[in-house]
Chain A
Amino acid sequence: MPAIAQAWSPTLEVTPPNPAGCGPSPAAENKGGGPPITTGNRRILILDDDQEFLDTYGRILARLPSRPEIRVANGAARALALLESEPFSLLIADLRMPRIDGFQVLMAARRKFPTLKTVAITGLGDQQYRARAYASGIDLYTEKPTTPTEIRLLSECVEALLAQGGPEGGFRGFQSKSLMDLIQIECLSQSSGVLRITRGSLEGKVWIDGGNVIDAEVQDLRGEEAFREIFGWKTGNFEMLPADSKRPRTIFGSYESLLLDSAQTMDETLTAEPAEGEPELQGMAWVLQPLARVRGVESLLLLTGPGQSEAWGVDNQEEFAGWTHRVLAEFQELGEKLNCGPLRSIEAAGSVRGVVVLAQNGRELMAGMDRKLNARQIRAAGKELATHLSKE
Chain B
Amino acid sequence: MNNPFKSKPVGPARFPRGSYTVNAAGSIVVSTLPGSFPRELMLAIGKVMLAALHSARELGTPFTELAADFAGLEVRARDLTGGAIIFMTPQEY
Q: Does B13 contact A (CB under 8 A)?
A: yes
> Separation in Å of the A229 CB from the closest CB of chain B?
34
> Separation in Å of the A135 CB from the closest CB of chain B?
36
A341 touches B61 (CB 8 A): no
Interface bits B60-75 vs A (CB < 8 Å: 1, else 0)? 1111111111111100
Q: Does B1 contact A (CB under 8 A)?
A: no
Given A323-B56, A338-B45, A339-B12, answer yes or no on A344-B63 (Cβ-Cβ < 8 Å).
no
Interface size class of B (residues with CB under 8 A): 20 to 34
Q: Does B41 contact A (CB under 8 A)?
A: yes
Assembly CA distance A326 to B76 (angstroms): 18
B70 touches A335 (CB 8 A): yes
- When distances are taken between beta carbons in the complex, the residues of chain B under 8 Å from A343 are 68-70
B69 touches A350 (CB 8 A): no
Assembly CA distance A331 to B71 (angstroms): 13
B72 touches A327 (CB 8 A): no
Interface-centre pick from B15, B48, B51 (highest chain A CB count, 10 A): B48
Given A323-B55, A348-B56, answer yes or no on A342-B71 (Cβ-Cβ < 8 Å).
yes
Q: Does A392 contact B (CB under 8 A)?
A: no
> Separation in Å of the A186 CB from the closest CB of chain B?
44
Q: Does A345 contact B (CB under 8 A)?
A: yes
- When distances are taken between beta carbons in the complex, the residues of chain B under 8 Å from A345 are 68-69
Assembly CA distance A340 to B73 (angstroms): 6
Assembly CA distance A334 to B61 (angstroms): 23
B45 — nearest CB in chain A belongs to which residue?
Answer: A334
Assembly CA distance A134 to B68 (angstroms): 49
Given A348-B63, A375-B67, answer yes or no on A339-B52 (Cβ-Cβ < 8 Å).
no
B56 touches A326 (CB 8 A): no
Interface-side segment among A114-122, A158-166, A300-308, A351-359: A351-359
Q: Does A347 contact B (CB under 8 A)?
A: yes
Interface pairs (8), CB distance under 8 Å: A323-B59, A331-B52, A335-B68, A340-B13, A348-B52, A349-B65, A375-B65, A375-B76
The residues of A with any CB-CB pair to B shorter than 8 Å are: 316, 319-320, 323, 326-327, 330-331, 333-335, 337-353, 355, 375, 379, 382
